[in-house]
Amino acid sequence: MDQDKIKNIVEAALMAVDKPLSVAQLHKLFAKDDDAVERTDVTRALVDLQAEYASRGVSIVEVASGFRVQIDQEVSPWISRLFDERPPRYTRALLETLALVAYRQPITRTEIEEVRGVSVSTNIIKTLLEREWVRVVGHKEVPGRPAMYATTKEFLDYFNLRRIDELPPLSELADLDTISSQLEIPLSGDSEGGDENGGSEEDVDGEMLSVGDDTDSLQGNVTLH
């Protein structure tokens, strides 16, 4: 099959779905064709597309689950005007909890509390589990057998990471402001403010959690489909 046609099919496939596609998934599109299409042909198509998209307002980005088309951060302020909802903002408590899971996984809730010096809200753990950013990977063999948490492939996809070792270095929790900037995580500046929908949910530390999350994509992670 002509390489240009392969590239067009790959591009159309990435546009058609709302999730990343791996090279293996893209290669399966050609399984029933008489003309042999190798995985290397698909990889070459992706490389060519990434080069072609380099000067546009969208990019072909590789994340943990595969490749996707997404809006570039530099144009997202204009694209966000198409949506009525505002992107969710996260409290420092939630970001600290997520960072500890990411950098010290697997980790228990008690171990997170020992580092943070305060109790971890059930709402924070619930939010991270519901967003599928963390998951229970086992139970520690100590009295009570507490759950051990680790990050997920969805966590990597959301933050445009291919592997967990691509996280920026973290020497201490004081670096979280830098980390949030690098990962484009909007932090709530007011721990007592409500969410963007007018409601709020308070954790045990007295901080407020945003509960609206329909506009994740406005942080430069929006996929086109």
Q: Residues 197-219: pLDDT tens digits?
A: 333 333 333 333 333 333 333 23
Q: Do residues 106 and 28 both lie within one domain?
A: no
Alpha-carbon gap, residue 91 to 97, rounded angstroms: 10
* Best CA proximity match to 188, nearest among 83, 94, 102: 94
Q: Note the pLDDT of residue 124.
A: 92
Q: Which of 51, 82, 113 is the last residue of a domain?
A: 82
Q: Note the pLDDT of residue 53.
A: 92
The count of domains in the chain is 2
Q: Do residues 67 and 111 both lie within one domain?
A: no
Q: Which of 64, 82, 100 is the last residue of a domain?
A: 82
Q: Residues 86-120: pLDDT tens digits?
A: 666 778 888 889 988 998 999 999 999 988 888 88
Query: What average pLDDT score do residues 20-44 get?
Result: 92
77 within a domain of the structure (yes/no): yes
Task: Write down the mean pLDDT value for the chain.
Answer: 78
Q: Residues 48-69: pLDDT tens digits?
A: 999 999 888 999 999 999 999 9
Q: Do residues 64 and 100 both lie within one domain?
A: no
Q: Do residues 22 and 114 both lie within one domain?
A: no
Q: 136 has which bridge partners?
A: 149
Q: Do residues 116 and 25 both lie within one domain?
A: no
- Kindly report the CATH number assigned to the domain that includes residue 185: 1.10.10.10
Query: What average pLDDT score do residues 12-34 get?
Result: 92
Q: By percentage, how much of the chain surpasses pLDDT 70? A: 73
Q: Note the pLDDT of residue 184.
A: 57
Q: Residues 147-187: pLDDT tens digits?
A: 999 999 999 998 889 999 888 776 555 555 665 555 555 55
Minimum mean pLDDT range among 28-37, 167-176, 189-198: 189-198
Domain that holds residue 37: 3-82
Q: Is the predicted pLDDT of residue 222 greater than 80, yes or no?
A: no
Q: Is the predicted pLDDT of residue 192 greater than 50, yes or no?
A: no
Q: Is the predicted pLDDT of residue 77 greater than 90, yes or no?
A: no
Q: Is the predicted pLDDT of residue 139 greater than 50, yes or no?
A: yes
Distances in Å between the Cα of 124 and the Cα atoms of 63, 106, 191, 202 are 25, 17, 14, 10
- If phi > 0 it is left, if psi is from -120 to 50 it is alpha, else beta; for residue 76 that is alpha
221 within a domain of the structure (yes/no): no
Q: Do residues 75 and 97 both lie within one domain?
A: no
Q: Do residues 59 and 98 both lie within one domain?
A: no
Long-range contacts of 205-208 (CB under 8 A, 24+ apart): 205/93, 205/118, 205/119, 205/121, 207/91, 207/92, 207/93, 207/121, 208/91
3-state secondary structure string across 36-92: CCCHHHHHHHHHHHHHHHCCCCEEEEEECCEEEEEECHHHHHHHHHHCCCCCCCECH
Q: Note the pLDDT of residue 196.
A: 31
Q: Which of 44, 59, 82 is the last residue of a domain?
A: 82
Q: Note the pLDDT of residue 191.
A: 41
